[in-house]
Amino acid sequence: MDDFSMLPMAADDDRLHEECGVFGVFGHDDAAALTALGLHALQHRGQEAAGIAAHDGRRFSIERHAGLVGDTFTRKAVIDRLPGRRAIGHNRYSTTGGAGMRNVQPMFAEFAGGGFAVAHNGNLTNAMILKRELQRRGSLFQSTSDTETIIHLIATSNHGQLLDRFVDAIRRIEGAYSLVALSEKKMLGCRDPLGVRPLVLGKLDEAWVLASETCALDIIGANYVRDIKPGEVVIITDEGIESLFPFEKSRSRFCIFEYVYFARPDSSVDGRGVYAVRKQIGAELARESGIPADVIVPVPDSGVPAAIGYAEASGIPFDLGIIRNHYVGRTFIEPTDAIRHMGVKLKHNANMGVLKGKRVVLVDDSIVRGTTSMKIVQMVREAGAAEVHMRIASPPTTDSCFYGVDTPEKSKLIASHMTIPEMASYIKADSLAFISIDGLYRAVGEAKRNGDAPQFCDACFTGDYPTRLADYEDRGKVQTLPRLAEAS
């Protein structure tokens, strides 16, 4: 992830944002073009910039550009500048005020043992402490990215071989990281010991593929082989693939919010189809907090599968009462004040024929600050709905994420300082309910959350962070406001 000088990343709207997708191909004549396609499939994980590093057996070439993958990497001239049968790529979601192109990945360094490019999805939670230590020892940082810390740890390692230096480096970092890296002879893939962020392995003919999600394998016609295991390093060479497990074994704590919102619904994680899980979340919601109504309406697009599941479980018809404008271009991603007041209508419009006179259940994936929910409820009422009930496909978001998801600080999260009835009143809904944490666990196939050893990372709903947060504790940024929402 990027600019760790900003804690913890301020969202510029009322949604959480995933912060990066990674992709790599080893052993294919069209490695760079395939990587561009893979990044295109992962565009939802980061829209601010994209980069590809390729190696042709003699030298590295790197292209990094602001904007969407399709803005640049569809041009033949750009792909032609990335020759070779090996390539890795990265999509970046920028935090406000980040250090611009200096932070765009893949990051590249030339070591004594040869060049090394790395792309990172996640966020390190001790990068600032390591950076200060490295700077004291003379390292000069070019960016504000925590990924560069990994590069400097490799550069300053006492080990001889590049792979040993890489393993030495990842043993010193903490937090969430799925990495794809390219050296002159190898492609590496690696997940942190808890496997917080996803990474999958695929095969396209003789070529090996690494990707954040299976949807990126599908786009190039690659077969899914398996998920990279938590704490695993895969080493891919012309001779084949092998694995290292350089960490003590620990229980997986995959990000449960990937199932709720971040991952594409057509992806699978650890054998679970994301779309099926989302429908199941909707069914659990209907069982937990069903209410008499005439129509189930998703807040598009992310609320759609949960709304379908809710409708199926409740027997109440599903309909598209809100239409999303898919052409809200980049102009509006950081809107001017003049445009901002148009608010939610830039993206969503009420479909009056579906809503008029109806008791409506709106299904959305999460509530962050509450401002978007308030506007959507108002819009649905103005379209003539008789009642508006809000159902949320995640538990109340009470805590910030420090693992690579752009969340406002805790005090800006509405659920950190309001009870559920207070939130209902704030967004002006007739009723509001969130799925319970155990309901969410049931939807992903667990009987319930194991309180002593949770099966997933769910810290943004529970405050139970699975790692130390050394950087943030250091700067006093982990706030401890009471979690009133849970008490309601």
Binding residue positions for Mg(2+): 302, 364-365
Q: Which is nearer to ligand SF4, 256 or 316 (CB)?
A: 256
Residue from 130, 255, 380, 423 touching ligand SF4 (CB under 6 A): that is 255
Q: Hey, is 293 helix, strand or coil?
A: coil
Sign of the alpha-carbon torsion through 304, 306, 312, 316: negative
In whole angstroms, the minimum distance from the beta carbon of 403 to ligand SF4 comes to 4
Q: Which is nearer to ligand SF4, 36 or 459 (CB)?
A: 459
Query: Are residues 202 and 212 in contact, defined by beta-carbon separation less than 8 angstroms?
Result: no
Q: Which is nearer to ligand SF4, 98 or 198 (CB)?
A: 198
Query: Are residues 274 and 268 in contact, defined by beta-carbon separation less than 8 angstroms?
Result: yes
Residue from 256, 354, 360, 379 touching ligand SF4 (CB under 6 A): that is 256
Helix or strand (DSSP H, E) at 191: strand 187-191
Q: Point out the residues that are catalytic.
A: 20
Span 405-434, contacts to ligand SF4 by CB under 6 A: 405
Q: How many residues bind ligand SF4 (CB under 6 A)?
A: 11
Q: Which is nearer to ligand SF4, 72 or 125 (CB)?
A: 125
Q: Where are the beta strands (DSSP E) in 84-238?
A: 86-92, 107-111, 114-124, 175-183, 187-191, 200-204, 207-211, 223-227, 233-237
In the chain, the largest separation of any two C-alpha atoms, in whole Å, equals: 72
Span 8-37, contacts to ligand SF4 by CB under 6 A: none
Q: Which is nearer to ligand SF4, 176 or 362 (CB)?
A: 176
Dist CA 111 CA 70 (whole Å): 32
Would you tell me how many other CB atoms lie within 10 Å of the CB of residue 37? 21
Span 437-476, contacts to ligand SF4 by CB under 6 A: 457-460
Would you tell me how many other CB atoms lie within 10 Å of the CB of residue 438? 15
Q: DSSP states of 397-442 as a string?
A: --S---SSEE---GGGSGGGT--HHHHHHHHT-SEEEE--HHHHHH
Dist CA 85 CA 349 (whole Å): 46
Q: Which is nearer to ligand SF4, 218 or 284 (CB)?
A: 284
Contact flag: residue 4 with ligand SF4 (CB under 6 A): no
Both structure tokens of 36: 């561009």
In whole angstroms, the minimum distance from the beta carbon of 121 to ligand SF4 comes to 11
In whole angstroms, the minimum distance from the beta carbon of 338 to ligand SF4 comes to 33
Contact flag: residue 367 with ligand SF4 (CB under 6 A): no
Q: Which residues belong to the annotated binding site for [4Fe-4S] cluster?
A: 255, 401, 457, 460
Stretch of residues binding ligand SF4 (CB under 6 A), selected from 3-11, 151-159, 251-259, 368-376: 251-259
Would you tell me how many other CB atoms lie within 10 Å of the CB of residue 312? 15
Q: Which residues belong to the annotated binding site?
A: 255, 302, 364-365, 401, 457, 460
Dist CA 124 CA 240 (whole Å): 30
In whole angstroms, the minimum distance from the beta carbon of 231 to ligand SF4 comes to 16
**For residue 42, which of 159, 199, 158 has the smallest C-alpha distance?**
199
C-alpha triplet 242, 248, 251: angle, nearest 5°? 95
Query: Are residues 296 and 318 in contact, defined by beta-carbon separation less than 8 angstroms?
Result: yes
Burial class (CB within 10 angstroms; exposed 0-12, middle 13-18, buried 19+) of 14: buried
Contact flag: residue 257 with ligand SF4 (CB under 6 A): yes
In whole angstroms, the minimum distance from the beta carbon of 236 to ligand SF4 comes to 27
Dist CA 281 CA 446 (whole Å): 12
Stretch of residues binding ligand SF4 (CB under 6 A), selected from 60-68, 177-185, 249-257, 302-310: 249-257
Compose the 386-405 pattern: x for residues touching ligand SF4 by CB under 6 A, - for all others.
---------------x-x-x
In whole angstroms, the minimum distance from the beta carbon of 257 to ligand SF4 comes to 4
Burial class (CB within 10 angstroms; exposed 0-12, middle 13-18, buried 19+) of 166: buried
Residue 260 DSSP one-character state: I
Q: Which is nearer to ligand SF4, 222 or 440 (CB)?
A: 440
Span 186-225, contacts to ligand SF4 by CB under 6 A: 196
In whole angstroms, the minimum distance from the beta carbon of 125 to ligand SF4 comes to 11
Tell me whether strands 200-204 and 240-244 are parallel, antiparallel or unpaired: unpaired
Both structure tokens of 217: 């394998």
In whole angstroms, the minimum distance from the beta carbon of 328 to ligand SF4 comes to 24
Q: Which is nearer to ligand SF4, 319 or 399 (CB)?
A: 399
Footprint of ligand SF4 (CB under 6 A): 196, 255-257, 401, 403, 405, 457-460
